[in-house]
Amino acid sequence: MRFEITLLAGLVTGCGLGRDPALIGQKLSDTTPLYNGYGINSDTTFLVDTPSQRILQVDLNTMTIKNAYSLSKPEQEHTLASGPEGAYVIDFSTQHLEFIQSDGNRSSHPFAFQGTPISAAFNPTLGTLAMLDDLQSIGLLKLSPSGEVLKSWLGGPLIGKDRSFLSGDLDSQGRLLLAVSDGSIAIVDVDQSINEGAWQSTSFATKIEEIRWLAPDHGRDHYSLVIGQGTLAVVDAQSRRVKDQFKFSKEKHLVLGESKLVKPHVLTLSSKTGRQVVHFIGEDGKFVSHELPQLGLAGYSVSYLDAAASILTVLFSSEDTHRVIQLRLSDNLIVLDETVRSEGDAQLGPNVLLINKRSQLGYLQAHSLRDKGVRELKGYNFDSFRGVSN
Amino acid sequence: MNRTWMVLPWLVALALPLQASTYVGNGGNAGDLDLSITLAAIRDSLVELDSSSPNLCRCPEELAESEICGVLRALTAPQVQFCREMILQHKDSLVALMSSDGDLTFSWADETLKVQSNHEDGKRVVDAVAQSSRRSIILNRARFLEMPKSFRIALVTHELFHLVPFGDGYFTDQQAIPPYRDGRTLLDTLGAAIAMNAHDTGVIADFRHLDNVSRAYRPYVFQLDFKTVARSDGAAQDLLAPTNQDGAALTFEYKPHALGFRIGVERTALSSRYQGQLQVDETHSLISLGAGYHWFPVTARLSRWSETHLAAFVDTVYGSAQYRVQDHAMSLEDAGQVLGLQVTGQVSLPAVIGFWGILGCQARYLQYRYESLNINIKDLQRVLYIGGAYAI
């Protein structure tokens, strides 16, 4: 029964049921991730606070509000991305893109797009941003370290004649890798594309159909992990070929989830053994498939694999329960098994589980994964309701 | 003797209380309604009298058990005859004396009244004193209000006769008036006769509808009010609360005279939803201490409304406030100490057997702070209330 429940959970989460549409980078959220694909963020996060119609920058160490910015177009839904060390925040909403610097200066509308941004790939170090909206417009931007837009361009989904993109991401060199409908991978030169006002790219074939997920391995960025139809593969942009492939149907695996944090990896469930398996790119560009201990857990939310591929952290979340398991891959030692019973949305960081209780009055809980202490930020919207600025 | 009774008023004047309030038909005193009823009963009783009134100065069989009737039962035939003659002879003078055109005034005394007498200390305690030179009658309020109606009629009639010309002067208590021993005995008899006649002829019953009217002179008042409080906009905004809240107050007042002192407890509460998202609750528990002044604006003498009175109070207010705002995930709470001042105006409308209807308004200033929420409240409130009181 336990296996069957886990299997069912895997089916629900792993086989495309309820999956996100094709994305570039990561799905946008109203809270900036505590990790990004390029390393660990600073100890601050930005979140959209709808009751007070503000964007709040929260210091996770002191659990205080560092900055608060009024929300443009508060009637719309907003998502965020943040610059390095929280130097600026990018506010995405329907037909609206705004860059808010730490001193409160704002700039907006680098280009006119018609849809609602749903995902973005962002390299804060290089200041390169690729944004995708729900009408499949792709915005390319180059930003200064303080968040000023240096140049930008808005492109459509057709990379070439009868070739539309399916998914993609930025690598650590700032190139935009796009999986294309003909089974190829397009390597887009972002700077040239912006300058020319047209897609500037080279491509190589993979023979992998319907690549719905592409994740550059930032440690060795000529490798990318891709999920296509019935297959998991490593593609090499340098040699322009498929380096390794793993057939789900042949191996009888179901995909439970995939993550680009920090090192891209995919979790599957082996129907042969009933065990969960994590797959990532090894040193030689070949797959490493590591069988995990029997955890028997459902509700996979997000996972992180550290850059050295030594520690896997998995968050399992339900409406009121959040469980964090940290596993040392060398010997499957459970380093951490922490359950937090608290209603709200959970975000996992390197050492903290941040829970936003979606309170009108404002309520954040930071559960330390090191000392298991809890720090809270409560009632921060009360003065806003009263019309008192703080 | 004439000199004696001429001196008497001056001596009595020395014994007059320092506090005496004047009834001049404008209301304003405890007992005015009861005095009005007494005078009206005397007047109505006199107007109906003529020589054919069979029971005048006699004790009717049905009233035989009355203490006053006993005075009449002891009369001799000549005394009965003399009594009848005196009343019939002077009834018009008495009616004229009590008319609104007359110059007769009544005063209340809240201290013991004494007159010259043969007692050891030369003084005698009395319930009333007539001052013929001033055309005034002074009544001991407490004694008057304790008396049954018939005794009041007898007492006032006795004093009225002191102001009626008799012989070379006026009736006095000391003078010998055969067939009675002295004037006092005669006037007591005349008073008893009028009182019994008022009963016998049904005059007393005419005013029965006023018997149960609540009397303003009752000094101990318990009052319960239901309030609607309108808060200042600033306070309401600070607390995410509506400007109106409801409450109730219980007050005890001691008002021996027009000035009263009171203590009250009050609880007001609000519970509301702010923008449909936040539940806001605030409660005030207050104690008030203050003083007030009562006065009577209604001049209608034979009306329950003559007991209607207005009052103005000033109270200090002290208490506590509790505040909570919450949503589905959390709540913020705090409490603070309240200090304030309030001024009140109210009207008391007499009901029956000691109950009153109350309408009032207040302006008050409350100040308090919720420390942890960093909220300072300075609230100028307007209050309307309706309530009831019971006085004993």
Helix residue spans in B307-367 (DSSP H): none
Q: State the Cα–Cα distance between residues B17 and B20, nearest whole angstrom.
A: 6
Mean pLDDT (whole number) for A272-300: 85
Long-range contacts of B265-272 (CB under 8 A, 24+ apart): B266/B227, B266/B319, B268/B227, B268/B229, B269/B245, B270/B241, B270/B242, B270/B244, B270/B245, B270/B246, B272/B241, B272/B242
Over residues A122-140, the mean pLDDT reads: 92
Q: Is B18 on the interface with A (CB under 8 A)?
A: no
Residue A102 has pLDDT above 90, yes or no: no
Q: How far apart are CA B132 and CA B136, in angstroms?
A: 7
Confidence of residue B281 (pLDDT cuts 50, 70, 90): very high
A72 contacts chain B (CB < 8 A): no
Q: Which residues of A82-111 are buried (b: 16+ CB within 10 A; e: fewer)?
A: bbbebebbbbbbbebbbbbbbeeeeeeebe
Model pLDDT, residue A389: 61
Contacts B237 to A, Cβ<8 Å: 386-387
- Mean pLDDT value across residues B291-298: 88
Amino acid A222: pLDDT: 87
pLDDT higher than threshold 80 for residue B221: yes
State residue A322's pLDDT score: 92
Report the alpha-carbon distance of residue A10 to residue A14 in Å, rounded: 5
Q: Is A358 on the interface with B (CB under 8 A)?
A: yes
Is A50 touching B (CB cutoff 8 A)? no
Please indicate whether residue B51 or residue A269 has the higher confidence score (pLDDT). A269
Band (A20; pLDDT cuts 50, 70, 90): low
Quickly count: other Cβ atoms within 10 Å of residue A269's Cβ: 24
Q: How confident is the model at residue B332 (pLDDT cuts 50, 70, 90)?
A: very high
- The answer, for B376 touching chain A at a CB cutoff of 8 Å, is no
State the average pLDDT over residues B42-48: 88
Given an 8 Å threshold on Cβ–Cβ distance, is A363 in contact with B329?
A: yes
Higher-confidence residue of B290 and B105: namely B290
Minimal-distance CA residue of chain B relative to A320 = B329
A360 and B CB contact within 8 Å: yes
Does residue B26 register a pLDDT over 70? no
Q: What percent of chain B clears pLDDT 70, i.e. is strictly above it?
A: 90
Segment holding B234, helix H or strand E: helix B233-238
* A36 phi and psi angles, rounded to 5 deg: -120, 175
Q: What is the largest CA-CA distance in chain A?
A: 63
- Calculate helix-pair angle for B32-48, B183-200, nearest 10 degrees: 80
Any chain B CB within 8 A of the CB of A341? no
What would the two tokens of residue A113 be? 């797009």
Looking at the complex, report in whole angstroms how far the Cα of residue A342 sits from the nearest Cα belonging to chain B. Answer: 10
Per the CB < 8 Å rule, is B332 touching A379?
yes
Amino acid (one-letter) located at B152: R
Helix (H, G, I), strand (E, B) or coil at A173: coil
Give the rounded percent of residues in chain A with a pLDDT score beyond 70: 91
pLDDT tier at A21, thresholds 50, 70, 90: low
- The predicted-structure confidence for B124-164, as pLDDT tens digits, reads as follows 788 898 888 888 899 998 889 888 888 999 999 999 999 88
How close does chain B come to A344, measured CA to CA in Å? 9
CB spacing of A363 vs B278 below 8 angstroms: no
Give me the pLDDT at residue A152, please.
94
Residues of B whose CB is below 8 A from A359: 327-330
Q: What is the pLDDT of residue A382?
A: 92
Write phi, then psi, for A268 (nearest 5 degrees): -130, 170
Per-residue confidence (pLDDT) for residue A1, from 0 to 100: 31
Alpha-carbon span A367 to A373, nearest angstrom:
6
Task: Using CB atoms, pick whichever of B237, B238, B332 lies closest to residue A361.
Answer: B332
User: How far apart are the C-alpha atoms of A331 and A334, rounded to whole Å?
Assistant: 9
What pLDDT, on a 0 to 100 scale, did the predictor assign at position A38? 56
Answer yes or no: are the C-beta atoms of B274 and B324 closer than 8 Å: no
Chain A CB within 8 Å of residue B329 CB: yes
For residues B192-204, give the mean pLDDT: 86
B372 touches chain A (CB under 8 A): no
Per-residue confidence band for A41, with pLDDT thresholds at 50, 70 and 90:
low
Sign of CA dihedral B287, B289, B295, B296: positive
Provide CB contacts within 8 A for A214, sequence distance 6+.
A167, A168, A169, A177, A178, A179, A185, A224, A225, A226
Mean pLDDT of B14-37: 55
Report helix, strand or coil for A84.
helix
**B326 vs A51: CB contact, 8 Å cut-off?**
no
Residue of higher predicted confidence among A189 and B96:
A189
Residue B57's region, left for phi above 0, alpha for psi from -120 to 50, else beta, is: left
How distant is the alpha carbon of residue B182 from its chain centre? 35
Indicate the pLDDT class of residue B320, thresholds 50, 70 and 90.
Answer: very high
**What confidence category does residue B297 fall into, taking pLDDT thresholds of 50, 70 and 90?**
confident
Which is it for strands A253-259 and A35-36: parallel, antiparallel or unpaired? unpaired
Nearest to A361 among B239, B327, B375 (CB): B327
What ipTM did this prediction achieve? 0.76
Please determine, for residue A15, whether its predicted confidence score (pLDDT) is greater than 80: no
Q: Do B332 and A382 touch (CB under 8 A)?
A: yes
pTM (predicted TM-score): 0.76
Is A73 touching B (CB cutoff 8 A)? no
- Stretch (H or E) spanning A384: helix A382-386
A387/B240 CB distance under 8 A: no
Chain A residues whose beta carbon lies within 8 Å of the beta carbon of residue B326: 361
pLDDT at B142: 84
